[in-house]
Amino acid sequence: MDKNVLWYREVQLEKTKQALEKNNYEVYIVEKKDDVNGILKDIIPKNSTVSFGGSMSIIEAGAIEYLRNNDYHLLDRYKEGLSPDDIGKLYRESFFADFYITSSNAITENGELVNLDGNGNRVAAMIFGPKKIVIIAGWNKIVKNLDDAYERVRNYASPINSKRLNRKTPCVQVGNCVDCSSDERICTHYVVTYRQNTRGRGIVILVKEDIGF
């Protein structure tokens, strides 16, 4: 990466970190995605009940494999052989987890989390339920403000995730949101989290790499 671009990204990252801390989040910055599991090891006690939301960021960071291979009671939505009813039960059990791990579709420089969800289980858990939430996000998720976040979420993250999930939606055809009424639409709940009311409940791990969508 060009040194001047790197300087800009690092300034933006530090600005976002300070804003998140002002909004009651505990924030870690790591150099690369391979460093994420070291933070998880430090902050999640053994034998904790842990769940996670659908997220390419946590998959790319290796967080799910780390959780599977260590001493946690994992509510694993990706476990083979689960029926839709089993997955629905896990979604509900996640509200009683000690830790809920996910990402955010966008994070503003003002320390706001912006997410667009399909079922709503992910954003619901981020808002209330689990004792602690852990957000893993690459610096590609950082945007200037809420307007930029809205643009990113609707016209970048949502079409890409619809394509990834093999949804038959208009955005997969044209590459941007058309505010469709498709039964396969994945963007139904738009949530802006301005701050965490409970200091220490929200933990954000920012990665100096592009991960996830």
- Per-residue pLDDT tens for 96-105? 999 999 999 9
Nearest to 122 by CA among 199, 186, 204: 186
Position 142 in a domain: yes
Order of strands, edge to edge, in the sheet holding 132-138?
A: 26-30, 202-207, 132-138, 99-102, 49-52, 73-75
Average pLDDT over residues 185-212: 94
Cα atoms in the Cβ-side hemisphere of radius 13 Å centred on 175: 0
pLDDT of amino acid 181: 84
Q: Say whether pLDDT at 185 is over 90.
A: no
Instruction: Give tens-digit pLDDT for 68-100.
Output: 999 999 999 999 999 999 999 999 999 999 999
* 210 within 8 A of 140, measured Cβ to Cβ: yes
Residue 126's pLDDT is what? Answer: 96
Which tens digit of pLDDT belongs to each residue from 123-182? Answer: 999 999 999 999 999 999 999 999 999 999 999 998 888 888 898 898 888 988 888 888
Average pLDDT over residues 188-197: 94
Q: Please report the pLDDT score of residue 122 as a whole number.
A: 94
Q: What domain range includes position 182?
A: 3-207
Assigned domain for 78 exists: yes
Asked if residue 212 belongs to a domain, the reply is: no
- In this prediction, residue 1 carries a pLDDT of 82
Q: pLDDT value at position 33?
A: 97
The pTM score is 0.93
Q: List, in sequence order, every residue forming a beta bridge with 189; answer none if it has no partner.
A: 117
**pLDDT tens-place string over residues 107-125:** 999 999 999 998 899 999 9
Does a structural domain hold residue 213? Answer: no
> Does residue 166 lie within any of the structural domains?
yes
What is the average pLDDT value for the chain, to the nearest integer? Answer: 94
Beta bridge pairs of residue 121: none
Strands 26-30 and 49-52: unpaired
What the block records as the tokens of 165 is 């999930």
Q: What pLDDT shows up at residue 179?
A: 85
> Quick check: is 102 in a domain?
yes
* CATH number of the domain enclosing 78: 3.40.50.10420
Tally of domains in the chain: 1
Dist CA 121 CA 137 (whole Å): 19
What pLDDT is attached to residue 182?
Answer: 87
User: Does any domain span residue 97?
Assistant: yes
Nearest to 110 by CA among 190, 26, 194: 194
